[in-house]
Amino acid sequence: MVQSSILGFPRMGVNRDLKKATEAYWGGKLSQAELLEEGKRLRLAHWKIQKDAGIDSIPSNDFSFYDHVLDHIQFFGAVPERYTQHKLDPIDEFFAMGRGHQKEGVDVPSLEMVKWFDSNYHYVKPALSDNQSFLLVSDPKPVREFLEAKEAGIVTRPVLVGPVSFLHLAKADRGSSVDPISLLEKLLPVYEQLLVKLKEAGAEYVQIDEPVLVLDLPQKTKDAFKLAYEKIASLGSSIPKVVFATYFGDIVHNIDVVKSIKGIYALHVDLVRNPEQLDTVLGAIHPEQSLSAGVVDGRNIWKTNLKKAIETVETAIQKLGKERVIVASSSSLLHTPHTLASEKGLDAEIKDWFSFATEKATEVAVIAKAVTEGPAAVRDVLEANAKSVQARATSKRTNNPEVKERLSKITEAMANRKSAFPTRIAAQQKNLNLPEFPTTTIGSFPQTKEIRVQRNKFTKGEITAEEYDKFIEKEIQDVIQIQDELGLDVYVHGEPERNDMVQYFGERLDGYVFTTHAWVQSYGSRCVRPPIIVGDISRPAPMTVKESKYAVSISKKPMKGMLTGPITCLRWSYPRDDIHQSIQAQQLALALRDEVLDLEAAGVHVIQVDEPALREGLPLRSGKEREDYLKWAVQSFRLSTAGVADFTQIHSHFCYSEFQDFFHAIAALDADVLSIENSKSDAKLLKVFIDEAYPRHIGPGVYDIHSPRVPSEQEIKDRVEEMLQYLKPKQLWINPDCGLKTRQWKETKAALTNLVNAAKFYRSKY
């Protein structure tokens, strides 16, 4: 009676099959027909998993060869002319928008890609023009895939991005100034046509995702909801029943909008992220509407506490009755790995705490069964689940009394440097003796094939630890010699020993575990495999001191130690859900603090703590939650770095320079030097540094490291000239945008030669 549903399933397949197929197709090794066939195979496999799990409402159109927003751009006929003019096959036009197309005389760059809310998934941003029109393509994907499933005996619930979210997430294309939301009335007819077609094809329900409802919205967007859903409601029984889905936040602040939306069959809310919104939502829901209760986490990998989830669903049932409640995943399961069954190497105790997409589908079905038939119907499952939950809560692997003890002793003073910046910089100058316009790099140097080969051999046990260490030392010697030749001022050791900037640290910290197959889509065919924080974090031994100390011992110039900051470690991992993220950040911060002090003691007097993920952790809405986040994020950075003496210089690095909305937090880090990615942005972004009278040093990147192109000395000088409009000569460092690990040596040397020469030019000028 109580229905179960999943909002979306991961697309990659058990062995990243989709990645392999699309990349093979791009590389000309797979035909178009083979690619399409593989997509079909994956969709069927994923529907079947959910059916076998006992899910009633199984999504379709959640699959995509690249990105689901991009699918909508194409089937709504919102493809910019620079793509359509080439008359490519639809699938090639689709990939051209996703990743650019440079073949057979066609040369178009990709559309912009941005983060999907606060997840690590990226969507393709619709780019709409002043005279934008929309036209439903003749064989729209949602209908095609619905029929495909139906043929296989599975009646699915197609998923669409809603009209308001589609427009709110869009932008005006270059050369246009249209406000996307103003296009609503033009867009609605294609939704209408699509919904009618879905109904004709046999769809009883459709899921319309409107996640933007969790954001702070301008009035015109709120009004757009009313307009759009009045129109949709007016279509009555000529379209499927609408499940209106929100996720990644609460909708309490937009509850008036929710109340104004009539004619929808059910409202879905995320009760994992915001369980407290349940009361308000129950109070706002119309008498004819159902509630889809998102109680199984679509964003993390923990086993659901079934007892708690059932209680939440029961609360809703008490108010609405069984017929009006649906049990669901909190969001699409896109953000979770495919199946736990692939993890052969995980410790059994810990594996019992996890649940990936396939296992989560079963959880949703079990909860629905428990509330329909009573808990006795699933007693064994509930008992086993309670045991796992209890075991995790009390395990030695999650609880480390020493860490707790240390956390309780953190004081304000520990987060403050000994002196203010003017005193520090004077001490650092004496210690480091750097020229004006000092030059440096961001940490990594090219990760050559040889480095990967040796690392692989070492992991597989084909070479000994000593042989591997020798190899790494030799790499360090080489990059130091190259930096000597280039004439850089602050050296790095090049990070040859690091596979990944978070995994490397995770592997050296207690409290982390790693998977072998738990990949999730980041964008297009790109997947990441985040490490998992399972318990209290501590540092059993120094993590980077050996390499940095060696580098110092053979270097004539100051050597910069290189660490990944607490927020980046946290954000690029699956965090625990049993303690607040601020506590996890503090634990990471204390471990890093010890590392910073060990580096200092080893003679490393410039230390960079990278925090590229600081910004993406910003809560979606402004206000208290965001301010709280910034407070603990800044505090944890300071806790990691503030223990050093005045003469030690703390650097931090960010892969962006849009600091406008949280500049106070960047300033509050109190880093002596910030290096930021800036070469492709407008130098005007640096204006905030003068406006706010920022007193410390800054190295805005002078060239783009994502491209093999070598910037000329003149280009770099021009860039520096622009920067000097906003920054004082004494503040300015000269460095690339980011680490150089994806580059080749040839272009790296050429670019850095020009960079050093540009710095020398300014030194002689000022």
Q: Which whole-number Å values give the CA distances from 390 to 273, 353, 686, in the listed order? A: 21, 10, 51
Which CB atom, from 149 or from 740, has the smaller least distance to ligand GLN? 740
User: Is 572 flagged in the annotation as binding?
Assistant: yes
Number of neighbouring beta carbons within 10 Å of residue 566: 32
C-alpha distances (whole Å) from 179 to each of 64, 130, 169, 648, 749 are 27, 8, 11, 49, 45
Residue 309 makes contact with ligand GLN by CB under 6 A: no
Of 239 and 502, which has the nearer Cβ to ligand GLN?
Answer: 502
Select the span of 511-519, 571-579, 652-660, 703-711 touching Zn ion (CB under 5 A): 652-660
- Provide, rounded to whole angstroms, the least separation between the CB of residue 562 and ligand GLN: 5
- Stretch binding Zn ion (CB under 5 A), from 387-395, 490-498, 637-645, 655-663: 655-663
- In terms of phi and psi (left: phi > 0; alpha: psi -120 to 50; beta: otherwise), the region of 617 is alpha
Which residue is at the shortest CB distance from ligand GLN?
Answer: 739
Q: Which residue has the tokens 């506490």?
A: 305
Between 58 and 567, CB nearer to ligand GLN: 567
**Rounded to whole angstroms, how far apart are CA atoms 221 and 731?**
43
Is 526 annotated as contributing to ligand binding? yes
**Residues near 145 by beta carbon (within 8 Å), at least 6 away in sequence:** 43, 60, 61, 63, 156, 158
SS3 at position 491 = strand
Question: How many other CB atoms are found less than 10 A from the CB of residue 140?
Answer: 23
Of the two residues 505 and 519, which places its CB atom closer to ligand GLN in the complex? 505
Confirm or reject binding of residue 443 to ligand GLN (CB under 6 A): yes
Binding to ligand GLN, residues 711-740 (CB under 6 A): 738-739
72 is in an annotated binding site: no
Does 517 participate in catalysis according to the annotation?
A: no
d(CA 354, CA 300): 9
Given candidates 93, 210, 610, 670, which one binds ligand GLN under the rule CB under 6 A? 610
The backbone region for 117, taken as left when phi is positive above 0, alpha when psi lies in -120 to 50, beta otherwise, is left
- Of these partners, Zn ion, ligand GLN, none, which one is at the site of residue 306 (CB under 5 to 8 Å by kind)? none
* 572 within 8 A of 613, measured Cβ to Cβ: yes
Q: Nearest approach, Cβ of 727 to ligand GLN (angstroms)?
A: 21
Of residues 651-680, which lie at the interface with ligand GLN (CB under 6 A)?
A: 653, 655
Give the β-pairing of 241-245 and 491-492. Answer: unpaired
Q: Which is nearer to ligand GLN, 498 or 638 (CB)?
A: 498
- One character per residue 560-599, x = contact with ligand GLN (rule: CB under 6 A): --x-------------------------------------
613 binds Zn ion (CB under 5 A): no
Among 285, 365, 501, 759, binds ligand GLN (CB under 6 A): 501
Q: Is residue 444 annotated as involved in ligand binding? A: yes
Number of chain positions touching ligand GLN (CB under 6 A): 13
Q: Are 347 and 23 in contact (CB under 8 A)?
A: no
Residue 569 marked as a ligand binder: no
- Residue number of the CB atom closest to Zn ion: 738
Non-local CB neighbours of 339 within 8 Å, separated by 6+ positions: 14, 356, 357, 358, 359
CA distance 678 to 654: 10
The total number of residues shown for the chain amounts to 766
Q: Closest approach of Cβ 564 to ligand GLN, in Å?
A: 8
444 binds ligand GLN (CB under 6 A): yes
* 19 known ligand binder: yes
Please tell me whether residue 492 binds Zn ion under the rule CB under 5 A.
no
- State the residue for tokens 């759009």: 228
Q: For ligand GLN, give the closer residue by CB, 111 or 738.
A: 738
Q: State which amino acid sits at residue 405.
A: E
CB nearer to ligand GLN: pick between 517 and 741:
741
699 annotated to a ligand binding site: no
Report how far residue 514's alpha carbon sits from residue 527's, in angstroms, rounded to the nearest whole number. Answer: 15
- Cβ closest to ligand GLN, residue 504 vs residue 761: 504
The mark string for 704-743 relative to Zn ion (x by CB under 5 A, - otherwise) is ----------------------------------x-----
Looking at residue 300, its amino acid is N
Integer Cα distance of 261 and 250 in angstroms: 16
Q: What six digits make up the tokens of 142? A: 């949602």
Q: In this structure, are residues 618 and 626 in contact, taking their beta carbons and an 8 Å threshold?
A: yes
Whole-number Å distance between alpha carbons of 333 and 327? 14
The yes or no reply on residue 496 touching ligand GLN (CB under 6 A) is no
Which two structure tokens, joined as six digits, stand for 738? Answer: 């980011």
Binding segment toward ligand GLN, per CB under 6 A, in 238-246, 316-324, 330-338, 441-449: 441-449
For 175, phi and psi rounded to 5 degrees?
A: 85, -5
Count of Cβ atoms closer than 10 Å to residue 27 Cβ = 8
The yes or no reply on residue 612 touching ligand GLN (CB under 6 A) is: yes
If binding is defined by CB under 5 A, does position 655 make contact with Zn ion? yes
Out of 72, 168, 268, 706, the active site residue is 706
The torsion defined by the Cα of 187, 193, 199 and 205, in degrees rounded to 10, comes to 0
Tell the smallest beta-carbon distance from residue 164 to Zn ion (Å). Answer: 34
DSSP state for residue 275 in the 8-state scheme:
G
CA distance 691 to 113: 30
* Only segment of 93-101, 168-176, 436-444, 660-668 that touches ligand GLN (CB under 6 A): 436-444
Catalytic residues: 706
Residues forming the annotated binding site for Zn(2+)?
A: 653, 655, 664, 677, 738
Binding residues: 19, 120, 442-444, 495, 526-527, 572, 610, 653, 655, 664, 677, 738
Using CB under 6 A, list all residues that contact ligand GLN.
442-444, 495, 501, 562, 610, 612, 653, 655, 738-739, 741
Give the footprint of Zn ion on this chain (CB under 5 A).
655, 738
